Structure 1
Amino acid sequence: MEKGEAMKRSKARSEPAIEFAKAQRASSNEFASTVWQWLRNRQCCGQKFRREFPIPPYTVDFCCAELKLVIEIDGESHFTKDGLEHDRQRDAYLRRVGYQVLRIPGYAVIRDGRDVIEQIQVFVQTGMVAPSPSPPNPLSPKRGEGE
């Protein structure tokens, strides 16, 4: 890589962020690995998902950047008081920057796989029809004015 190329990288694509994502993928639990098999290669509604995707200061389990959809697979640490509070703050931040978040308990991936697949498909289809809200457009002239 050229020296100038490294300077152009965003924080999301910095070497530490890339290494963190690689480590997360390598150590992912069976729940996340199973969901990845459902999402990879545009298998879900033809949409591109990325695994361990950085949205600084966070890294999300799965992200469809085009539709601004995030899917999080929650292990048992997410159900503690601290875990629930952390997820609440994280989800609020992701919503503020325009992402929609779907949280799935890890145990449901194995126990109710078909239901989880359907839940993910509905989430993605809804995002395709009604993408995340963007800032409002400037006001346009009222109909009839200037015609």
Structure 2
Amino acid sequence: MDDSMFFGASPIIFERAKELRKHMTAAESLLWDYLRKKKLKGLKFRRQHPIANYIVDFYCHSIKLVIELDGSIHDLDSVKENDIEREEHLKSLGLWVLRFRNELVQNKLHVVLTQIEDCA
């Protein structure tokens, strides 16, 4: 296993990621349907991918890009604080982080895909 793409994630994080893959949100499913077909410049994305102490929604190792999809729970102050801390840690690992609201993915997927392509 290539640890460089997992940044030291523990076996517990891997098990949790495996479980999360079984229960995608509607927005995750919609975006994954596009990303898994490598339509974005042939890039390979992984879903519910372990990185350090986290599980990110989508990850492309070749360009070090993390994509996170946020539902309404991310409007809570405590969750916002966690998101900021998490994003800072991911960036300290040399990763790029894009965040999208579920509603944007579901209603304007083309906007999301354009922003992702701009990072590639």
TM range (shorter): 0.7 to 0.9
Choose which of 24, 37, 40 in structure 1 pairs with 2:33.
Answer: 37
Q: Post-superposition, which runs of at least 4 consecutive aligned residues in structure 1 deviate over 2 A? A: 10-14, 16-19
- Does 2:111 correspond to 1:115? yes
Residue of structure 2 in register with 1:12 after alignment: 9
Q: How far apart are the structure 1 equivalents of 2:111 and 2:62?
A: 25
Q: Which runs of 5+ in 2 are unaligned?
A: 2-6
Q: Which runs of 5+ in 1 are unaligned?
A: 125-147
Output one character per residue of 1:33-83: Cα deviation in whole Å (capped at 9) or x when no partner.
111111113221111111111111111000011211100011111121111
Q: Conserved in 2, the CA contact under 8 Å of 1:69 and 1:101?
A: yes
User: Structure 2 counterpart of 1:90, which letter?
Assistant: R
Higher relative contact order (CA 8 A, sep 6+): 2
What is the TM-score with the length of structure 1 in the denominator?
A: 0.72
Choose which of 65, 72, 89 in structure 2 pairs with 1:69.
Answer: 65
**CA shift at 1:13, angstroms?**
6.4
What is the TM-score with the length of structure 2 in the denominator?
A: 0.87
Q: How far apart are the structure 2 equivalents of 1:63 and 1:102?
A: 10
| Bigger Rg, which one | 1
**What is the percentage of aligned positions where both structures have the same residue?**
36
Residue of structure 2 in register with 1:98 after alignment: 94
Q: RMSD between aligned alpha carbons? A: 1.8
Q: Conserved in 2, the CA contact under 8 Å of 1:11 and 1:17?
A: no
Rate the CA distance shift 1:18–1:102 in 2: closer, same or farther, 3 A.
Answer: same
